[in-house]
Amino acid sequence: MKELLIVFHSMTGGTRQMAEAAMRGAATEREVRVRLLHAAEARAEDVLHADGYVFATPENLAAISGIMKDFFDRTYYAVLERITGRPYATLVCAGSDGSNAVRQIERICTGWRLKAVCEPLIVCTHAQTPEAILAPKRIGAEDLRRCEEIGAAIAAGLALGIF
């Protein structure tokens, strides 16, 4: 059985909703085991065991979150040259832009020689004040549907052996 690993971090709930939506979409594929792990809990062994990945992060100060960075720092060299060619997708919950967070994940995944299998999804909450930035987020149904589609597509590709 193939395994899809979804690694996420979320402070205000937005990214968690996106990761859970991707998990729901992926869970429709019976041939794929889906694991959802908080970035603080994910280990190199989890990365090595998986056949594909979804990385979900908030945009914090125009970057991936510190806990996502910590995940990549802790796992990068332990799995380097051992996961080449595996598929991945990126989800970003952003307050204004999100493109630099995407760029950071792309650079890391390029080093791992992973294969992006869809365009990164950036959901912009337009949170611009300290109160709005720190407030709990609610991701809209259309954006959650898009996250579900990404999860379903990568799981289907794993099940069919396309990736």
24-28 mean pLDDT: 97
Q: What is the average pLDDT score of the chain?
A: 97
Tokens of 16: 């968690």
E-assigned strand segments in 23-151: 32-38, 52-60, 63-64, 87-94, 115-116, 121-124
Domains of the chain, first to last: 2-160 (3.40.50.360)
73: confidence class by pLDDT, cuts 50, 70, 90: very high
List pLDDT tens digits, range 29-54. Answer: 999 999 999 999 999 999 999 999 99
CA distance 83 to 158: 14
pLDDT at res. 10: 98
142: confidence class by pLDDT, cuts 50, 70, 90: very high
Please, what is the angle between helix 141-160 and helix 14-26, to 10°? 40
Residue 123 near residue 92, CB atoms below 8 Å:
yes
List pLDDT tens digits, range 105-120. Answer: 999 999 999 999 999 9
For 105-124, give the secondary structure using H, E and C.
HHHHHHHHCCEECCCCEEEE
What letter would DSSP give residue 12?
A: S
